[in-house]
Amino acid sequence: MTGTELPLAGVRVVEMTHMVMGPSCGMILAQLGAEVIKVEPPVGDKTRTLGGMGTSFFPLFNRGKRSVVLDLTKADDRETMHRLLDTADVFLENFRDGLLAKQGLGLDEIKARHPDLIVAGHKGFLSGPYDHRPALDEVVQMMSGLATMTGTMAKPQRVGSSANDIMGGMFGAISILAALYQKRGGKTGGADIRIGLFENCLFLVAQHMVEYEMTGNKPRSMPEREHAWPIYDIFETAGGERIFIGVVTEGHWQAFCKEFGLNQLLDDPTLRSTTDRILARDRILPLVAAKVKQCKVADLSATLDRLNVAFSPINRPEDLFNDPHVQREGGLVGSINANGAPFRAPALPIEWNGASIGDGLKVPPLGGDTAAVRAELDHKTDTARRRA
């Protein structure tokens, strides 16, 4: 799809964010066709120079944007920022409350000077007792109970990605789309949107909170949980590789046991219902494990696929580049880093009229679009003056 065919073509977003939560929101909007202008300080976004697990942060979450450098300690650059906001539909920020006000970009001033602007602030917390606190993905995972559900109370474990930050960016994009929809429907004025990282994590653990609310039973963590299915486990195969198998319906149970010669389980009168089988997992699983141990993972995968039984090899992230489904056309999109080096990343998890989107996006070099954007603003100003 070309940029003019994308749904947000013609929408301008000015972004002043860093790390992951805010930039992921801007990245989603950019891939949907919005023009996203990232305003950076002279030293650049801090994630530009991160290494280790942070190496991918800037290129991944800032593809498809334009980079403008402004020093907001200077009055001229603050005025340039306001001129830029005059041309924008959306303003993204993720700074602690009060910080932007010191630079002439407080919410009250923005509302006064840009009354039609949609302002989306990505924060650690929504309004309340904690709204002054800084927050990180790992912090809110500990606070919300997600870490104890992923690990245990004795050994809490964070989820193995920046899941909350990215999901917070998604909620930011959803909120912005809703605000744009209101404006297209004739609603006048802007919108003041606040997205909370902590509340985002609460949304993720709501299923466990409501389980307790409804039953009075404390939810068990993933390693300690009561299984809802008789076979829902990781098994070792003949080649020493491992595979996850989930047998979750009566039809799956029948087909699985017949295929792998476990007729004694089908004939056992004490295993008639799913509940019976769950209670008998201690004697069922060793029999299943012995059968799986005789199979090579490729052959086993083909058999389970034929039976329509859920399964998965135990992958690492790097393995996904060789997965045939990920390798399909549109599964991965190509991008160009700020230094000119190409890299691949998963496409947005949607298809738009049968096609993936986001291929060919470039990561902007620091300030690479400053001169062009300033020239555009000057041209708009001159045009307005001539018309006046």
Q: How does pLDDT run across 51-100, given as a tens digit for each residue?
A: 999 999 999 999 999 999 999 999 999 999 999 999 999 999 999 888 89
Region of 307 please: left (phi>0), alpha (psi -120 to 50) or beta: alpha
Distances 94 to 45, 48, 111, 131 between C-alpha atoms, Å: 12, 17, 17, 13
Q: How does pLDDT run across 103-154, given as a tens digit for each residue?
A: 888 889 999 999 999 999 999 999 999 999 999 999 999 999 999 999 999 9
Alpha helix (H) ranges present in the chain?
21-31, 57-61, 75-86, 107-113, 137-144, 146-150, 163-184, 197-215, 250-259, 263-267, 274-279, 281-292, 297-307, 324-327, 370-387
Given a cut of 60, whether residue 3 has pLDDT beyond it is no
Q: What is the percent of the chain where pLDDT is above 90?
A: 87
Given a cut of 60, whether residue 1 has pLDDT beyond it is no
Split at pLDDT 50, 70, 90, the class of 380 is: confident
Residues annotated as catalytic are 165
Give me the domains of the chain, ranges plus CATH numbers.
3-206+329-387 (3.40.50.10540), 227-316 (3.30.1540.10)
Q: How does pLDDT run across 213-231, given as a tens digit for each residue?
A: 999 999 989 888 777 789 9
